[in-house]
Structure 1
């Protein structure tokens, strides 16, 4: 994704990132969760842009 792993960890802890789970001391993310999170971000961005054009 081109972002540091810490960024994903921080976003997750703020409730703004993909769902993850712990394996021992390490945090893991399923690819499907990352894809769903990215899709949600894309949809929210598209809605903001469409909403701005209609005003």
Structure 2
């Protein structure tokens, strides 16, 4: 079963950062991988968790 996709606000809530930070990561080429669905950006929760797990400790 596929889990629901996350909006940038969901990613921000999960990571405990402002939603503006998620948008900055995307425009600067960093952050978790997102995909466009029409005019919206959506994130797979597994991709966000994998991205977070790959970060060096204390780095965001």
Shorter-chain TM-score tier: 0.5 to 0.7
Unaligned runs of 5+ in 2: 1-14
Compute the TM-score of the two structures, normalised by the length of structure 1. Answer: 0.63
**What is the number of residues matched between the two proteins?**
44
Compute the TM-score of the two structures, normalised by the length of structure 2. Answer: 0.59
User: Greater helix share, 1 or 2?
Assistant: 1
> Where do 4+ consecutive residues of structure 1 move more than 2 Å?
none
Report which structure shows greater RCO (CA 8 Å, sep ≥6): 2
Over aligned residue pairs, what C-alpha RMSD do you find?
A: 1.7
- Once residues 18 and 29 of structure 2 are traced to their aligned partners in structure 1, the CA distance between those partners, rounded to angstroms, is 17
Question: 1:45 is matched with which residue?
Answer: 57
